[in-house]
Amino acid sequence: MDLLGVAQQLRAQEHERLLEVRELVQDKIRRQSIDYWNREEFPEDLVAQLAGHGLGGVQLEECSHLLRGLIHAEIARADISLSSVVGIHNELVVGMIHEFGSAQQKAQWLPKLTAFEAFGAFALTEPEHGSDIAGGVQSTARRDGDEYVISGAKRWIGMGTFSDFALIWAKDEDSGDLGAYLVESDRPGYSATKIEHKIGLRIMQNADITLDQVRIPVANKLPGATCFASANGLLMQSRAWVGWQAVGAMMATLDICLSYAGKRQQFGQRLASFQLIQQSLAEIAGNLSLCLSMMSDIARKQERGDLQMVDAAMAKSTATRLARESAALGRALLGGNGVVSDFEMAKVFCDVEILHTYEGTYEINSLIVGRALTGISAFV
Ligand SMILES: Cc1cc2nc3c(=O)[nH]c(=O)nc-3n(C[C@H](O)[C@H](O)[C@H](O)COP(=O)(O)OP(=O)(O)OC[C@H]3O[C@@H](n4cnc5c(N)ncnc54)[C@H](O)[C@@H]3O)c2cc1C
């Protein structure tokens, strides 16, 4: 649903690729994901479908930023949880090893990761530090001969229950410098517990991870990740990705609402014929078009290599705010059926809550924009 024709900016071959992904996720993912979402279960067979179409490595695909963004939006349009799996895997795990890893780390992990034959986790947030994690990391790395000893706790870590390794952000005990360490999940002292009963992104398995003096070889440190600025560079790009997820959520909202309003009859007429229903549809379409245009400008900035944190923060906060507003309109438009996941709208409604909070909360991203506008930091 692209009223302004943003996807028409793609070259013919890229447009084909987008249509291939749309067909795949609409046919093989959208309806199939509902049961997994209800059961809070990871859908290995659905992920295998995504792997078959190269979506484990979309981060390294030779393509425009616009195509990559639209692909992420199409996946979110079908299922937001799975788009989080694909997005975090690509932006924060594949991307991080590709950008900051050693030659040996890249050779060992990238082929398996991009085929979805291995999973990693990006582990920054801690139980006591979320929004203030930049200055708040408590996890530590202590050098002991040819090894590092990693201790601490991480919270909310996506794919953390089953990933082959986690990229743990920790402070060097000697220098106090922040760094990233690849910690395999089968090492003694590593444990991960699933966070149960989430209201959204129920397919994404989030974990509390504890690290009790876990020993890793010195070679497991990522040579390129040497301070919080490295994490921030990645987070800037992944915030923009959440903007695309929000676009996908609004596409899903419009799809679901148009279909429902076209079929459901009250007072002897289809809902679609009522003026107030058409107003809701117009508002959702307006929110979607606004964000799609904004995200295409963000993609252009990424293409030029001049995306700034304020751009990513504005895109993330604005798109998730409008996705949340659209999902509320959509949920109401479906009446009682809007609260049942079988009708899909309730699933979008709940998933959008997480987009609003993760990758820097709505409030913190707004404060980043506020700081750029006023020159005054309201949060540090
Ligand atoms: C489903 C899910 C998946 C996630 N996946 C990952 C992952 O894979 N890896 C990872 O490292 N992290 C992950 N996160 C963590 C996520 O990034 C944090 O939840 C987020 O940064 C907020 O931190 P917090 O939950 O500790 O909230 P808090 O920081 O405790 O914030 C609570 C509230 O206070 C507000 N607040 C805080 N400080 C200020 C201030 N100065 N001014 C105004 N308001 C303020 C916040 O906006 C929020 O509304 C995930 C989170 C969720 C929910």
The whole-number pLDDT of residue 176 equals 95
Q: Is the pLDDT of residue 1 over 80?
A: no
Q: Is the pLDDT of residue 353 over 80?
A: yes
Ligand 1 centre distance from Cα of residue 123 (Å) = 13
Residue 3 pLDDT class (50, 70, 90 cuts): confident
CB 70 near ligand 1, within 6 Å: no
Report whether CATH 2.40.110.10 matches the domain 120-220: yes
184-228: per-residue pLDDT in tens? 999 999 999 999 999 999 999 999 999 999 999 999 999 999 988
57 CB neighbour count, 10 Å cutoff: 18
111 CB neighbour count, 10 Å cutoff: 12
Residue ranges per structural domain of the chain: 6-114, 120-220, 228-374
> What fold is seen in the domain 228-374?
Butyryl-CoA Dehydrogenase, subunit A; domain 3 (1.20.140)
Q: Could you check whether 6-114 and 228-374 share the same CATH topology?
A: no
Residue 360 pLDDT class (50, 70, 90 cuts): very high
The whole-number pLDDT of residue 230 equals 86
CB 81 near ligand 1, within 6 Å: no
Rounded to an integer, what distance in angstroms lies between the CA atom of residue 64 and that of residue 14?
8
To the nearest whole number, what is the mean pLDDT of the chain?
97
CA-wise closest residue to 243 among 87, 348, 81? 87
Rounded to an integer, what distance in angstroms lies between the CA atom of residue 312 and that of residue 243?
8
CATH class of the domain defined by 6-114: mainly alpha
CB 201 near ligand 1, within 6 Å: yes
Find out whether 150 and 181 touch, Cβ atoms under 8 Å. yes
CB 206 near ligand 1, within 6 Å: yes
Ligand 1 centre distance from Cα of residue 140 (Å) = 21
